[in-house]
Amino acid sequence: MADGTSEVARAIAQLTTALIEAMTKLSIALLERRAQRLREAAQQGEQAARQERARLARHRAADAAIWQRTASPLWWQKATADQIAQAWRAVTTWHQVDADAAGTRQAMAERLRRRGVDVAED
């Protein structure tokens, strides 16, 4: 039974690793798109730039609500691979411009490594 359990754990770790990799790529694409939208808004004028910054602030707040859940050990006990991947996407999208996101991402990476999930740091 222990062998079957370790196979399941290994499969879950592999699935989570694949989801983390996919969400990292998605986060990079989101960052690039957001930077492009900010550049376009700046070219359109101050009001457009202000509106774009407000829109980004709303997205950041929504993502922060997702990644902040990972501070709870209970969340980790119940989290599915998809929920972990979504939290990783949320925190990775902002970690280069938000100190809270950066700290949370590092803590998540450490926790995932302990679970056998391969997490590439950039």
Structure tokens at 65: 């609500």
- Give the residue from 118, 65, 63 showing the smallest Cα distance to 89: 63
pLDDT digits (tens, 9 = 90+) for 57-68: 999 999 999 999
The Cα angle at residue 23 between residues 35 and 70, in degrees rounded to 5? 100
pLDDT digits (tens, 9 = 90+) for 16-73: 888 888 888 888 888 888 888 888 887 888 888 888 889 999 999 999 999 999 999 9
Give the integer Cα–Cα distance in Å for 98 and 92. Answer: 10
pLDDT band at 122 (very low <50, low <70, confident <90, very high): low
Give the integer Cα–Cα distance in Å for 55 and 53. Answer: 5
Could you tell me how many helices (H) and strands (E) the chain has, helices first? 5, 0
